[in-house]
Amino acid sequence: MIPAMPPLDPSISAVLHAADAAEGPVVFLTGAGISAESGIPTFRGAEGFWQVGSRNYQPQELATYSAFRSMPGEIWAWYLYRYAMCQSAAPNRAHLALSELETRLGDEFLLVTQNVDGLHLRAGNSAARTYQIHGNLDLVRCAGACSPELTRMPERFATWEKGRPLDDEAEQALTCTRCGDWLRPHVLWFDECYDEERYRFESSMAVAAACRLLVVVGTSGATTLPMHVATTVAQRGAAFLVVDPEPSSFSDMADANPRGCFVQGKAGEFVPAIADALSADREP
Ligand code: OAD
């Protein structure tokens, strides 16, 4: 049985009422913070991947196509460790609430996520309604782009330890069988551009222009497409919630919007209650 939710703060309810009176889908935009309660460190927190896993590198130096080309083994070892960490994590209450919300709202629901951990899909959200704008570590593709095909990350890497170097077998498993180039993780790197085919750029902007409510969860605002999405929604004056324990440029936008509210707290605490309120009159 699902426990009853505590009542929402009136300022949050007011935003949800404003959304109710408008047209368009409900859009959730998620970042690393929604997976923090699954045990995956955020990027810019004290235990972030960059500091822990990358020794002397800044994220912008390491997570690039050019770094991959100059030291593919090191970059792969780092991504394999991240992949193994995501594999050992499980969806939390916030992920599960968004899966349930999609079931209830159907095509009135959309999820735009920066997370490459795959936890939204594992929680049950559909690939069709989940725009993974930075890719997904569960997938690999040819680094030389001899084909656009995406394939599953080989199962054998699910337990890769931090700092373990690639051996010959691993290199073999990470070689494109068509052209002999390296495979690469299916993620957007800092020296690459968003596009529609792989990263749903236009689709994300289209839902920003049409949504009746944007709920931003657990993202610091360090990348460009999420910022464009939020700015578009803010400029339209559409209903806007931000759930995060820390203030950010997104929370500033929510505070400046008459139909906005900054919900200062953890995703696991607030997302289930917001999802419940959004679907209270819908059949499960
Ligand atoms: P960040 O690490 O930059 O931000 C995480 C946000 O989550 C911060 O605002 C935290 O305050 C918040 N947070 C922490 N715990 C939370 C919790 N329990 N509930 C809700 N929020 C919580 O991560 P992102 O903004 O997702 O890009 O990072 C954006 C992008 O930068 C990533 O997708 C990645 C990275 O470089 C690429 O790889 C291209």
For residue 265, report the distance from its CA to the centre of ligand 1, in Å: 14
2 pLDDT more than 80: no
> What is the rounded average pLDDT for all residues in the chain?
92
State if residue 38 touches ligand 1 by the CB under 6 angstroms criterion.
no
pLDDT 10s digits, 214-253 = 999 999 988 999 999 999 999 999 999 999 999 999 999 9
Work out the angle at residue 228's Cα, subtended by the Cα atoms of residues 226 and 229, and round it to the nearest 5 degrees. Answer: 65
Q: What is the pLDDT of residue 5?
A: 62
State if residue 267 touches ligand 1 by the CB under 6 angstroms criterion.
yes
Q: Which tokens go with 144?
A: 């030389």
Q: Which residue, chain included where needed, has tokens 């999405």?
A: 229
What is this structure's pTM? Answer: 0.94
State if residue 28 touches ligand 1 by the CB under 6 angstroms criterion.
no
Looking at the chain, the whole-number percentage of residues with pLDDT higher than 70 is 92
For residue 146, report the distance from its CA to the centre of ligand 1, in Å: 32
Cite the active site residues. Answer: 134
Q: Which tokens go with 274?
A: 């917001």
Residues 221, 236: Cα–Cα separation, whole Å: 19
Residues 43, 51: Cα–Cα separation, whole Å: 9
181 pLDDT more than 90: yes
Residues 165, 75: Cα–Cα separation, whole Å: 10
Kindly state the average pLDDT of the residues 87-95.
Answer: 98
Q: Which tokens go with 6?
A: 């505590």
Looking at the chain, the whole-number percentage of residues with pLDDT higher than 90 is 84
Q: Which tokens go with 262?
A: 């900054």
Q: What is the pLDDT of residue 73?
A: 93
Q: What is the pLDDT of residue 53?
A: 47
CA-proximal residue: ligand 1, atom 32 (nearest): 114
For residue 222, report the distance from its CA to the centre of ligand 1, in Å: 8
pLDDT 10s digits, 248-280 = 999 999 999 999 999 999 999 999 999 999 998
Choice from 30, 116, 195, 219 to test ligand 1 binding pocket (greatest atom count within 8 A of CB): 219
pLDDT 10s digits, 16-61 = 999 999 999 999 999 999 999 999 988 876 655 554 444 556 667 7
Closest to 42 (Cα-Cα) out of 275, 269, 263, 267: 267
Q: Is residue 1 very low, low, confident or very high in pLDDT (cuts 50, 70, 90)?
A: very low
Higher pLDDT, 61 or 87: 87
Range 18-28 burial, b when 16+ CB lie within 10 A, else e: bbeeeebbbbb
Q: What is the pLDDT of residue 62?
A: 81
State if residue 44 touches ligand 1 by the CB under 6 angstroms criterion.
yes
For residue 267, report the distance from its CA to the centre of ligand 1, in Å: 12
Of 46-60, 84-98, 140-154, least confident by mean pLDDT is: 46-60
Kindly state the average pLDDT of the residues 128-152.
Answer: 98
Point out the ligand 1 atom lying closest to the alpha carbon of residue 45.
2
